[in-house]
């Protein structure tokens, strides 16, 4: 069941409200990975394990849209149906954003991510990461189970 905040965010996104479009204009000018003070959708972040404490990091990740393309055959017989376009990726854009964020921040562990906005060029997700070596995280029973391997 969606919370009231999630319903509001979904309604704003479906109606393409001016508020969210203004935010997207700002987001486009920022880097692909932007560290945030606090999450935009706090209810969603809390459901994924976010807590307002040291050692937890929120990153807004930008991923480009568009399908995959395969290289055209250079030599030999050319098939009637080349299979160059309309190739679908095995992973979702959300997984791509998570993987790129984890690769960039190698010392942090992934807690989860959620959708923010999509336009013609980009998808934006907020990715929640935790630092397993931080004392606040290692003392927290819930986070310790999820972040630090047994």
Confidence band, pLDDT 50/70/90 cuts, at residue 85: confident
Residue 68: its pLDDT value, please?
A: 77
Q: Is the pLDDT of residue 81 over 80?
A: yes
Long-range contacts at 114-118 (CB < 8 A, ≥ 24 apart): 114/41, 114/44, 114/45, 114/48, 116/40, 116/41, 116/60, 117/13, 117/20, 117/23, 117/24, 117/27, 118/65
- Nearest partner of 105 among 149, 68, 62, 57, judged by Cα: 57
Q: What is the three-class DSSP state of 129?
A: strand
Q: What is the pLDDT of residues 124-135, one digit of tens each?
A: 999 999 999 999
Contact 131, 57 (CB under 8 A): yes
15-70+77-147: in CATH 3.40.190.10: no
Residue 104: its pLDDT value, please?
A: 97
Tell me the average pLDDT across 73-86. 82
- Mean pLDDT over the full length of the chain: 90
């Amino acid at each position: 069941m969606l919370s009231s905040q999630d319903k509001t965010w979904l309604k704003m996104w479906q109606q393409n409200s001016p508020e969210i479009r203004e935010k997207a204009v700002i987001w486009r000018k920022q880097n692909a990975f932007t560290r945030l003070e606090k999450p935009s959708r706090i209810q969603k972040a809390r459901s994924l394990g976010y807590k307002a404490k040291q050692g937890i990091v929120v990153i807004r990740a930008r991923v480009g849209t568009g399908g995959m393309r395969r290289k055209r055959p250079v030599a030999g017989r050319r098939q009637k149906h080349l299979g160059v376009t309309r190739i679908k990726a095995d992973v979702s854009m959300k997984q791509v954003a998570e993987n790129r964020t984890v690769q960039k921040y190698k010392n942090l562990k992934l807690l989860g991510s959620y959708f923010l906005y999509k336009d013609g060029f980009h998808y934006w997700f907020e990715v929640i990461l935790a630092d397993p070596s931080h004392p606040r995280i290692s003392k927290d029973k819930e986070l310790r189970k999820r972040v630090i391997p047994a």
